Chain A
Amino acid sequence: MLECPRCGAPLPRRAALVRLVCEFCKNDVVLDRFWVKAADYRARLAEYRGEFGGEPSIRINGSALQVLGHLATGHSTEVSLAKRATRLSEQLVVKRLHTPTDEALLHNEQRVLAALEKSDVRGATHFTTLLPQRVGFGHVEGTPRGPLAAVLREPAGFSHTLAQIAVAHGHALDPRHAVWLARRLLELLGFIHRSGFVHGALLPAHILVDAEAHGARLVGYSCAGKPGTRVQCIDGEHATLYPDEMLGKRGLLPRDDLAMLAGCLLWATGNALPAPLGEFLHGLGRSDQDDDAWDAEVRLSAAARQSFGAARFVKLEVS
């Protein structure tokens, strides 16, 4: 707090910068030394953290978050939209576990994402931006302690899941959209696989779509693992999308992600596809040699050309 040297009255902060008149004694005030108290800054920090309108809904790792609404109910988590409860805010997604018995899944997701963030395979600079961006991880604070939660950045623009889009289109999505969706996801899977992981739960609800910009990315890395490891969880609602061999003793392989991707797209389009594209999707990830997503993308291009001719932008309507 700055004080008038004549009368001791409090002065505004500007008194340190410019000549002004003390409102109490009416004298001109010019301060000759720039004294700054750290306590004033700390007080403003406390004020900044407390000035947010309304009570923060939850605290995780000491960060106050305001939950804005429900996004989805997953196999093991409740997913909400949130933002940091400060003026310089950040749009977030919070995944809270339904039950403590699934904590290992959320821990696994953090480990996998941390490893993928450090990947240096070709294209990592771009593809790491398509991963869920980790912000925080911990139990929701309170008494008693709340569920384990992962805080992620909200992926701006990616506002629909493939499941929602398929429903909106009556499970008859225009197959031309399957082409760019497959292309984006094969590119991403190529990165994930080359980085040494298999997603392991490539389900319609785990495919996020930016309808305007024709973007697609994956979420739900809780069941991801190294090739050969056992599948950690199965979503019963989409059990038919999991390849049988993947659920058996051999464990995860990259081609399982390809087969599940094909299953998702066939499900969304109602399997009503031009023959070349249908053959491609029905065969994707089904042979021992079909383990490379980037190779598959080349075959996709050929199938799409045979099915639809030259590539062109087709707007995806999402109501």
Chain B
Amino acid sequence: MGYGRYSHAAHQAMLQDRQDLPTQQVFKQNGCHVLMNPKGVRARESRDSADHSNTLPIVFALDVTGSMGEIPELLARRELPNFMKVLTDSGVADPQILFMAVGDANSDSASLQVGQFETTAELMDQWLTFSFLEGGGGGQNKETYELALYFIAEHTDTDAWVKRKKRGYVIMTGDEEPYPSVSRHQVEALIGDALDEDIPTEAVVATLQETFEPFFLIPNLERRQRCERRWRDLLGDRVICLEGPEDTCWAAAGLVALTEGAVVDLPAFSQRLIDLELDRKRVSAITRALLPYAASLGKAGAAAAKHDDPNAKPSFWKRLLG
């Protein structure tokens, strides 16, 4: 999968028509779409093509339980074109997006749904809106995020890695902890693989990070205490505590752009958002959320800048904060 060209204008136009539609008319599924059922899937493939010779696989693994359904909606109504625009404007050449929907296999009927890697706006949107927003969840402060991580580690095949040893990206959203291990029974039932034992979630992450750069985005500060520490034990500084779910796409674009070196540093990325006329309060919030990860890369920028030059431009923060 992954053929065709991306058009930002077409993508925005597509979303324009659904601004006032109720959720049920945007996300029409009332069960797992047959094409997103992971059972028996051998591999989701991200392939280079004549149009896209340098593909960059990006997986959006979206928590669709009760407390988290707003993010898929935001993506489908407004935000996904922004993510693509920031990436393509930053020079990230050939992003290919795969959408997954994640719930809790202990309580949900469609706890793992998997689309395909796509390059065109129409097909990205198709898989996103094929997702069934079940709105379930277990009520035990855990969802089966580890199943999604296992699927990505075990059932994706990307030219980026095979041909160029280049990692893809996993942007997972959520507000709960993962279970301590991948259940072999759940894997057998949902995916069809035969595991000889349960696999510790740490081992799944260790395997996943060989071929992907994983990130976990918590949608707001209220929910960070439920799960932040556990995810940090797994992913370290790649846990991003947002100040609002509407920042998801912008922050995700920043993570990819910073890691790819498509922007020099965090202030340069924030300036890009200002240039796109994003509200400055949101730019500040996104900048704060990304700062620890940017600092871990040595790309915090302004905070590390020297002030030797008296004729230097005013600091980034001054311009930002007024």
| Contact of B22 with A by CB under 8 A | no
Whether, in the assembled complex, B315 has its beta carbon less than 8 Å from a beta carbon of chain A, the answer is yes
Contact of B295 among A14, A34, A88, A157 (CB under 8 A): A157
| A41, B154: Cα distance in complex, Å | 10
Of the listed stretches B57-65, B89-97, B191-199, chain A binds B191-199
Interface pair A90/B154, CB less than 8 Å apart:
no
Q: Are A44 and B210 in contact, CB atoms less than 8 angstroms apart?
A: yes
Is there an interface contact between A156 and B43, defined as CB atoms closer than 8 Å? no
**B126 on the A face (CB < 8 A):** no
Verify if B10 is at the interface (C-beta below 8 Å from A).
no
Task: Mark A109-133 against chain B: 1 for CB-CB distance below 8 A, else 0.
Answer: 0000000010000000110110000
Q: Contact string, A293-319, partner B, CB cutoff 8 A, digits 1/0?
A: 000000000000000000001010111
Q: Is A212 a contact of B197 with CB atoms below 8 Å?
A: no
Partner of B238, one of A34, A88, A214: A88
The number of chain A residues touching the other chain, given as a range, is 35 or more
Write the nearest CB–CB distance from A206 to chain B, whole angstroms.
20
Asked if A214 meets B317 with Cβ closer than 8 Å, knowing A14-B157, A88-B238, A125-B222, the reply is yes
In the assembled complex, A239 has its CB within 8 A of some CB on chain B = no
Q: Give the docked Cα–Cα distance between A25 and B43 (Å).
A: 25
| Number of interchain pairs (Cβ within 8 Å) | 134
Q: Which of B200, B214, B232, B317 contacts A45 (CB 8 A)?
A: B200
Query: Chain B's interface: helix, strand, loop or mixed, by majority?
Result: helix
Q: B266: shortest Cβ distance to chain A, in Å? A: 10
Q: Is the interface on chain B under 10, 10 to 19, 20 to 34, or 35 or more residues?
A: 35 or more
Is A86 a contact of B236 with CB atoms below 8 Å?
Answer: yes
What residues of A have a CB within 8 angstroms of the CB of B316 in the complex?
Answer: 212
Interface: A210 (CB within 8 A): yes
Contact A42 B200 (CB under 8 A): yes
Check if A84 is an interface residue, CB within 8 A of chain B: yes
User: CA separation between A273 and B234, bound complex, in Å?
Assistant: 49
A313 x B318 contact (CB < 8 A)? yes
Decide: A36 near B292, CB < 8 A? Known: A14-B162, A18-B43, A214-B317: no
Is B109's beta carbon under 8 Å from chain A? no
Complexed CA–CA distance, A86 and B192 (Å)? 32
Asked whether B163 is an interface residue with its Cβ less than 8 Å from the other chain, the reply is no
- Scan residues 222-238 of chain B and give those whose CB is less than 8 A from a CB of chain A: 222, 224-225, 229, 232, 234-238
Which residues of B are at the interface with A, using a C-beta cutoff of 8 A?
42-43, 154-155, 157, 162, 184, 187, 192-200, 202-207, 209-210, 214, 221-222, 224-225, 229, 232, 234-238, 241, 288, 291-292, 294-296, 300, 302-303, 305, 307, 314-318, 321-322
15 pairs, CB–CB < 8 Å, chain A vs chain B = A34-B192, A36-B194, A36-B199, A38-B184, A42-B200, A48-B206, A90-B232, A91-B292, A91-B295, A129-B221, A134-B229, A154-B292, A156-B295, A213-B288, A315-B315
List 9 other contacts, CB 8 Å, given A36-B187, A41-B206: A36-B195, A37-B195, A38-B195, A41-B207, A129-B241, A157-B300, A313-B321, A313-B322, A315-B315
